[in-house]
Amino acid sequence: MIVTDNQPFTVVSDVGFKRLMAAAEPRYALKSDKYYRTEKLQEVHHKVVDKIKALIQPENAGYSLSFTTDCWSGVTESLISLTCHFIDAEWTRKQVVLNTRAMHGSHTGEYLKETFLSMLEDWKISKDRVALVLRDSGANIVKGMRLAELPDLSCTAHTLQLVVNDGLSSQRAVTDVIAILKKCATHFHHSILAKQRLRDIQRELGLPEHNIIQAVPTRWNSTLHMLQRMLEQKRALTIYCGEHGGFAGPTAHQWDLVSSLIETLLPIEEVTLQVSHSNSSASCIIPCLTVLKMLLQDDEGPPQKGIRTLRQAMRESLDKRFAKVEDTKIVVLACLLDPRYKSHAFSSATTLSKAKGWLKEEEDAATQQTTREEHAATEGASMEEQAAAEEASVEEQAAAYGTHENDRNTHKRQRREHTSFRSRVDEMFSSLLAPHTSDLLASSCVEDELHLYLKEPVIDRRGPTPVVETE
């Protein structure tokens, strides 16, 4: 319970907990919090580690693993996290937090590289098992992944945060009204009396008795939520400002601007939530960005000149920050092979052509790997058979000791012929049953199957994820 509910170890010394345990099992004697802190915690930790190690083994998680990592700084320390993502043997998406480590010194790219690789080493995960590392766009973590020579990708939600910030900061009128409303929110967050007075006004006007929301710099949609709450409480805030003061309220023109901002940002929030959902994957990046571009290009948005300029700034930032998204192999293939999207969201036929080439490369690599494994298995089996035959021959020679030399030579020659014959049969079976690696045939098969796949209608993106459906 201490671990599951994140309770302090001293909970075992609380009067209420002791009464609960006495009622549940009077014969059980509770140990001190020191026991659970110094002995039991280590035991539980080792059990959890062993279970996670079993979960991420190739037999259950497959050979390739994906990771997300993030760094953040608190008041007293800085931390870096490592989370592993995979699909298990039952075709269920899983994620496990492997590490949260304190960082010391300057967080340079070299330092982050060493820290990240050491966390992988703690779990005996080799670099060749890393399929992808999802990270933010910080220069130090970008450099760290490059130095570590690991495949990585910027977090789409984090980049969208930068896109929205670029748009909001492009208009002085927008930044001014947001600053006014932030001061208003700060006023109510720092004063109990102000909250009580606002609550009285809300009751008199029949408005929802909601608290004022404060925007958070690291989450752009918190600014949207603040604007929505402020517009909802517009009448109450106007009356409060007139009666009690404490802050300068927006003008009528600024309130109109707030309404237009909400209308502009609401669809963007929907797209952001979709790419940051717990069930999201790399396959939804290109479709979501395409939809977002369509939304920002729509001429049916708010007519204010400032809002039109803001939308234009967001479009330009979106094009700039995601300029190479359709050159990213893993993102393009994920979109193409997702039956919810396929090639519908690609901006040009060039992207589809590149995807076909990448699929051919993947098929060739997989075929070569399979051939090498089968060849190694065949050689191993042949060596085992040869060793067994030699051992049997020794026993036969010992049993038939004293027989004619010619008989022994004949027996050895027959044994060598038998071993050679068996190895050749294995090679023929391996060649017959192995995938055909002819360039012409492989290309034809891939293109034919892909053509049929693309002709089929896409499935509903709002339904279960394709991974679940394949069960």
pLDDT tens-digit map of 90-113:
999 999 999 999 998 889 999 999
Average the pLDDT over 264-282 and give the result: 88
pLDDT at 228 over 70: yes
pLDDT at 18 over 70: yes
Q: In the prediction, which pLDDT does 381 show?
A: 63
Given 25, 40, 55, the domain boundary residue is 55
Which residue from 148, 149, 112, 167 is spatially nearest to 321, judged by alpha carbons?
Answer: 167
Q: In the prediction, which pLDDT does 128 show?
A: 92
By the 10 Å C-beta count (0-12 exposed, 13-18 middle, 19+ buried), 177 is classed as buried
Given 100, 127, 154, the domain boundary residue is 154
Range of the domain at 315: 160-323
Q: In the prediction, which pLDDT does 429 show?
A: 28
Strand partners, 69: 82
pLDDT at 301 over 80: no
Phi, psi of 84 (to 5 degrees): -105, 135
Give the number of domains in the chain: 4
Based on the fold, state whether residues 220 and 243 are members of the same structural domain. yes
Average the pLDDT over 327-335 and give the result: 93
pLDDT at 335 over 70: yes
Average the pLDDT over 325-352 and give the result: 91
Q: In the prediction, which pLDDT does 219 show?
A: 87
Q: If residue 152 lies in a helix (H) or strand (E), which one and from where to where?
A: strand 152-154
pLDDT at 440 over 50: no
Q: What percent of the chain has pLDDT over 90?
A: 49
Q: In the prediction, which pLDDT does 199 show?
A: 95
Residue 54 contacts residue 86 (beta carbons within 8 Å)? no
Based on the fold, state whether residues 194 and 313 are members of the same structural domain. yes
pLDDT band at 365 (very low <50, low <70, confident <90, very high): confident
Based on the fold, state whether residues 273 and 413 are members of the same structural domain. no
Based on the fold, state whether residues 190 and 50 are members of the same structural domain. no
pTM, full prediction: 0.77
Residue at 333 is within a domain: no
- Angle between helix axes 234-244 and 220-232 (nearest 10 degrees) is 80
